[in-house]
Amino acid sequence: MRVLLIEDELPHCEMYVKCAENLPYEADLEVSNGLKQATELTVDGFYDVVLLDLELNESDGDGVSYLQWLNTIKLDYERPFVVVITNNRSKATHDIVRNLGADYIFLKLKPDYSPRLVFDFALKCHQSKPQPEPDTADLETAIARIVEKIGFTYDISGTDYLISAVSVVIYAGKKNPSLSKEVYPVVAKKFKKSDWSINKAITTAIVRTWRMTDVETLAVNYTSNIDFDTGIPTNKQMIFYIVDRVKKDFVGTVS
């Protein structure tokens, strides 16, 4: 579950970050302290849930403006579930944000309020959302969009192998399938290559992309781990990063 927290109070942000690190389930949390940054992150964030503070008094904008903005754009992914977290008790304000598309409101002043309560609620809502039937062509199109944004090009075969490998991982239905035993053999059979050739070509594509793409583009479109020795993502890091970016549209529908 990918989550964006929009909150200007740093102690509150720290509470959520610490809570996310200790959850018994995966919650990939990113934090924005203001409206401008929040809109930029939302465009390419592929978030499942947005946790939205209404009063961004220590920063720019406010939660109402974010909801108004969210209603004016077309995202490359399904609109995230929006949970408002606020000290504001005004029924009129609550009615406004609900009419703008907020899905739920948590009052910070309630005795039982906690980041864990909010995360647990968000997870239940995310898991209960109906999932669309997968389509191989649509899936690979979604993967290709992400790959292209990172900076991969199609003049080398490793890009096609990477897209296919991500598709295989998603359809495998496992959290962490073995690339060497369960993924590369399937891709190799499809392209009539050896497993080693698939592995090597994907590595080459990643290395080339990191050498040819500007740092700003990489920083915006690849936000996961890298190999500290090389400064470049490994095949596994890249494949599973892309899987995480697209899986919410397909997980649970592939047997």
The 10s digit of each residue's pLDDT in 95-151 is: 999 999 998 898 888 888 899 999 998 888 777 765 554 456 677 888 998 999 999
What pLDDT digit, counting tens, does each position of 159-204 carry?
999 999 999 988 877 777 899 999 999 999 999 999 999 999 999 9
Residue 249 has pLDDT above 70, yes or no: no
What pLDDT digit, counting tens, does each position of 40-54 carry?
999 888 888 999 998
The reported pLDDT for the residue numbered 176 is: 79
Domains and CATH numbers, the chain: 2-128 (3.40.50.2300), 136-249 (1.10.10.10)
Alpha-carbon separation of residue 81 from 3, 76, 104, 123 (angstroms): 9, 15, 9, 10
Under 8 Å between Cβ of 254 and 170: yes
Tokens representing residue 115 in the block: 């980041």
**Residues in contact with 27: Cβ distance below 8 Å, sequence separation at least 6, in sequence order:** 1, 3, 20, 119, 123
The reported pLDDT for the residue numbered 254 is: 42
Can you tell me whether residue 143 is helix, strand or coil?
A: helix
